[in-house]
Structure 1
Amino acid sequence: MDGFVATFTNRLDQKGRVSVPAPFRSVLAREGQDGLYCYPALDQPAVDGGGQRLQEAIASRLSAFETFSEEHEILSTAFYGESRVLKIDQDGRIVLPEEFRAHAGIADAVAFVGQGYKFQIWAPERFEARQKEARAHLRSVTRGLGRNNPGHSGAGEQA
């Protein structure tokens, strides 16, 4: 797999350092990154992080808006103005800035959650609640899969 997958929970030390999971460091290294590109998630109490592919996804999203438009300015401020590049030390750790910890409600543990081209950093208890919400939503979405598919017979399906 060439993306960020799985969930890892690590302890935050008194200096605000946390170990980045080794599989995530490997993905970043393959992308030519020696640190994490991070910013407060736009719609969750979490921090979005990643490397080159995340930066490319941001650039692609911004390209949908006219340069200097209000939408472009707002999004570019959110994606770039609040971002940080967090260096990974020789022990595989980063220092998680206080403003990121406050945004995510992180106290003493950190959940790194893979999302393919990026990952998120959560307070473990907040992620557990989010995961339950996501699973419930996923069940409602998957119930409708295939119903509008012309090649799907609907056999064996219950309404």
Structure 2
Amino acid sequence: MDRFVSHFTNRLDAKGRISIPAPFRAVLMRDGFEGLYVHPSLDQQAVDCGGNALLQEIDGLLAKLSPYSEERDLFSTALLGTSEILKVDPEGRVVLTETIKAYAGVTGDVTFVGQGNKFQIWEPNRFQAHLEEAKHRVRDMRRQLSSGSATPDVPVPRSHGARE
């Protein structure tokens, strides 16, 4: 599988290193990126992480914006200007910088959360609260979809062969 899935919690060691979960390391190896690309999440107190697949998503987003537009400048600054490339050691560990730890609120344990083409680094208690909120909101969206009353924020999937 070439996707980051599931979630794992590991502990920072005395030198500030954290082991990237083995399934995530395997995806990164297949992706071919040297190191780990990270940037603060745009909408959570977490850090987005990945390799070439994540960078391709960012490049795709930026390509849709006019080269000298304010929107492109803002996205470039937030996604590229605040990013870091962390070195992965032979044992699959990275040293989280003070900037990353402070942004995510990480002090001891770290939760890695798969999200397909990227994964996130969370402080475990914050992730648990986020997960509960996500489950609650997904249940609400599912009820809206099953009742046929979709909201503008929740597109109704179209079945194959449906007529316009």
Q: CA deviation at 1:2?
A: 1.6
Distance in 2 separating the partners of 1:128 and 1:61: 29
Partner residue, 1:25: 25
- Structure 1 residues 150 and 67: CA distance shift in structure 2, 3 A: closer
Partner residue, 1:154: none
Distance in 1 separating the partners of 2:158 and 2:97: 51
Distance in 1 separating the partners of 2:26 and 2:55: 17
**TM-score, length-scaled by structure 2:** 0.88
**TM-score, length-scaled by structure 1:** 0.90
Distance in 1 separating the partners of 2:94 and 2:16: 8
- Please list every run of 5 or more consecutive structure 2 residues that lacks an aligned counterpart in the other structure: 149-155, 160-164
1:102-141 alignment to 2 at 5 Å? 102-141=102-141
Count of residues in Structure 1 that have an aligned counterpart in Structure 2: 151
Partner residue, 2:64: 64
Question: Are positions 1:75 and 2:75 aligned together?
Answer: yes
Distance in 1 separating the partners of 2:114 and 2:53: 13
Q: CA deviation at 1:13?
A: 1.6
The 3-state SS of whatever aligns with 1:5 is coil
Distance in 2 separating the partners of 1:30 and 1:149: 32
Deviation string 1:108-140 (CA, Å, 9 cap, x unpaired) is: 010000001100000001000000000000001
Q: CA deviation at 1:14?
A: 2.6
- Tell me how large the CA RMSD over aligned residues is: 1.4
The 3-state SS of whatever aligns with 2:145 is coil
Partner residue, 1:86: 86
- Amino acid corresponding to residue 36 of structure 1 in structure 2: L
- Please list every run of 5 or more consecutive structure 1 residues that lacks an aligned counterpart in the other structure: 152-159
Deviation string 1:26-64 (CA, Å, 9 cap, x unpaired) is: 101101123111001111000000111110110111112
Distance in 2 separating the partners of 1:91 and 1:59: 30
